[in-house]
A and B are shown apart, each in its own frame.
Chain A
Amino acid sequence: MRRRQGGASASTKRVRMTFTTGEANILGATLPAPTARRQFSFAWLGVMPFLLFALLFLILPTMKIVVGSFQSNEGGFTLANIANLFQPSILAAYWISIKISVASALLGCFVGFLIAWAMVLGGLPGWLRSPILTFSGVASNFAGIPLAFAFLATFGRLGLVTLILRDWFDINIYGLGFNLLSFGGLTLTYLFFQIPLMILIVTPALDGLKREWREAALILGASGAQYWRMVALPILWPTLLGTFALLFANAFGAVATAYALTGSSLSIVPILLFAQIRGDVLQDPHLGYALAFGMIVVTGIANFVYIWFRTRSERWLK
């Protein structure tokens, strides 16, 4: 007991001294660690596989791409690969990727926030919470090819919703210019995993809004809108922006859904890179490096923004 309550440095020193004499008393009240040197090496031994793995299969491949995108075919330094990115077809691919990612992230944040708000603060019965969160867990992981199938079966030309709208309401959405294999269609599809992810992330933040803050604001004469504008939103702001960045990265890297939906008819960056690696389109491997490098930069920025805002928002989530 004394050891845990006493001054930290003095007590740890004392413990170490006991152990260096070699009398690690397992059953007594002494701290359950072997000598200082041994526990250190044990910990490192355990971390080694992890570090080795990260080096070989995360860091080296990424480094290879970064280096390769600045190399010419002969191995010298060049900026030509990066410059090659700025050709109209590739720029268009980046542009539509970014547009889809921004749109689906914005909508996902907005709708997800509304649903989470309704669930946490909107006075819905409490038993709804658990099913909503479980479903969000499922749906946020239901990406990839099956998701594309589901949307084809629903909003495709013979899909359920398309047929219902046509037969019951006499609205032909394809006649109105809707196309699942387009900007709007992809955004609609991506929302299926974006909204649940937003719900999962923002719910703890909404839970963290203390009732006292609202009461204090109301006592001081604030209206509901003022409370949201001046108290709640500033607190939630880092969470919202961080989640936006996360959703952006999430959509930007999603290749399977897009590939299964559109084949290679819609050129977004992940599909372009995918086709390049498979050797379908571009012949220049270093352009592939540059494409991948561009994706690393964009997702890297988004992830950095997410982490940065996340650490800021965690202060309020205690």
Chain B
Amino acid sequence: MKTNRFWSWLFLLLGVAYFVFPLIGTFEFSLKMRRGAYSFDAYRTVLTDPQFQATFGYSVTMALATIVMGVVLVVPPPFLFCTFSSLPSPPPTPPPFPSPPPFRSVIVFGYIRIYTPPSILPLTGTWWGTNLLLLFGYATLALPYMYRSVDTGLRSIDIATLTEAAQSLGAGWITIMTRVILPNVLVAVLSGAFLTFAIVIGEFTMAALLNRPAFGPYLQLIGANRAYEPAALAVIAFGITWLCMGLIQLVSRFSKLPNAGR
């Protein structure tokens, strides 16, 4: 068992080294803007850049809209199958999606070909239409994650039993929805939402191809033209991703109570 443990630590340390060096390297690099001394100049330049504020605001708005759209699209199907199905056993929800097909450029290519003006639905013709199209594109990215988390959320609670128990105690439909089922699904929806946020905020391909002023294309522009600011932006982006994952951990900690057996 001794040698066993030695190898474990070795693998772990090598892994940690691989993952930590780029983070330290980026952080250190982002501090080197002023010659000869460490400073936060790069961060100051980035954060006060009006273009940063504009693109970041745009991407945050898009991310929030994507989350709303994902919830509207994804929550009803498994939810209604669960609640309105008369089957006593867990309902036959469709199997979880595989991981998202990562061909964003392919999908957007299809969009551009279908929805440019000489078409039935000329979405790329107008400012609103293009934003809407980008929103739909983001929604296709978010769907698998959203669906999976909501589906597991619904599966981990036994809806039929909970509903019957609530009814035995005299609860009506509204009470059951708001006080039994929604709190359980809410955690799943929230974790899906944070994941969606993390994905959408730095998305480059779709926004660039549809020519939207999003955060991703801005990052690319800065990366091509500046030296130290990109590192600062990478640190910020990593911080946002980390924050989203931390929030997922936090909300899923609340869900540990009802299904502790799992």
User: Which A positions have Cβ atoms within 8 angstroms of B?
Assistant: 3-4, 8, 11-12, 15-16, 26-29, 31-34, 36, 39, 42-43, 45-47, 49-50, 53, 56-58, 60-62, 64-65, 68, 111, 114-115, 117-119, 122-124, 128, 134-135, 137-139, 141-142, 144-155, 158-161, 191-192, 195, 246, 249-250, 252-256, 259-260, 263, 270, 273-274, 277-278, 285, 288-289, 292, 295-296, 299-300, 303, 306-307, 310
A118–B9 CB distance below 8 A:
yes
| Shortest Cβ gap from A139 to chain B (Å) | 6
Which of B49-57, B58-66, B164-172, B182-190 lies at the interface? B164-172
Q: How large is the interface on B (under 10, 10 to 19, 20 to 34, 35 or more residues)?
A: 35 or more
* B19: Cβ under 8 A from any A Cβ: yes
Interface of chain B: mostly helix, strand, loop or mixed: helix
* B84: Cβ under 8 A from any A Cβ: yes
Determine the distance from Cα of A259 to Cα of B35 in the docked complex, in whole angstroms: 29
User: Given A150-B22, A253-B104, A260-B220 in contact, is the A31-B12 Cβ separation under 8 Å?
Assistant: no
A-B contacts at CB below 8 angstroms, number: 276
Q: What are the residues of chain B within 8 A of A300 when measuring CB–CB?
A: 101
Those of B233-247 within 8 Å (CB) of chain A: 233-234, 237-238, 241-242, 244-246
| Shortest Cβ gap from A114 to chain B (Å) | 5
B249–A134 CB distance below 8 A:
yes
Contact partner of B137 (CB less than 8 A), chosen from A57, A115, A270, A292, is A57
A295–B219 CB distance below 8 A:
no
**Most-contacted residue by chain A among B101, B109, B137 (CB, 10 A):** B109
User: Given A26-B173, A118-B12, A123-B1 in contact, is the A53-B73 Cβ separation under 8 Å?
Assistant: yes
Those of B1-21 within 8 Å (CB) of chain A: 1, 4-5, 7-9, 11-12, 15, 18-19, 21
Q: What are the residues of chain B within 8 A of A159 when measuring CB–CB?
A: 25, 29
User: Given A61-B110, A160-B28 in contact, is the A135-B102 Cβ separation under 8 Å?
Assistant: no
Q: What are the residues of chain B within 8 A of A60 when measuring CB–CB?
A: 110, 114
Contact partner of B11 (CB less than 8 A), chosen from A16, A27, A114, is A114
User: Which B positions have Cβ atoms within 8 angstroms of A?
Assistant: 1, 4-5, 7-9, 11-12, 15, 18-19, 21-26, 28-30, 72-74, 76-77, 79-81, 83-88, 98-99, 101-114, 136-137, 139-140, 163-164, 167-168, 170, 172-173, 176, 195, 198-199, 202-205, 208-209, 216, 219-220, 223-224, 230-231, 233-234, 237-238, 241-242, 244-246, 248-249
Determine the distance from Cα of A11 to Cα of B25 in the docked complex, in whole angstroms: 66
Interface of chain A: mostly helix, strand, loop or mixed: helix
Q: What are the residues of chain A within 8 A of B173 when measuring CB–CB?
A: 26, 32
Contact partner of B199 (CB less than 8 A), chosen from A32, A135, A141, is A141
Q: What are the residues of chain B within 8 A of A8 when measuring CB–CB?
A: 88
User: Nearest chain-B residue to A19 (Cβ)?
Assistant: B86
Contact partner of A292 (CB less than 8 A), chosen from B1, B79, B106, B168, is B106
User: Given A32-B167, A42-B80 in contact, is the A64-B29 Cβ separation under 8 Å?
Assistant: no
A161–B25 CB distance below 8 A:
yes
Q: What are the residues of chain A within 8 A of B241 when measuring CB–CB?
A: 138, 141-142
Contact partner of A249 (CB less than 8 A), chosen from B101, B107, B246, is B101
| Shortest Cβ gap from B130 to chain A (Å) | 14
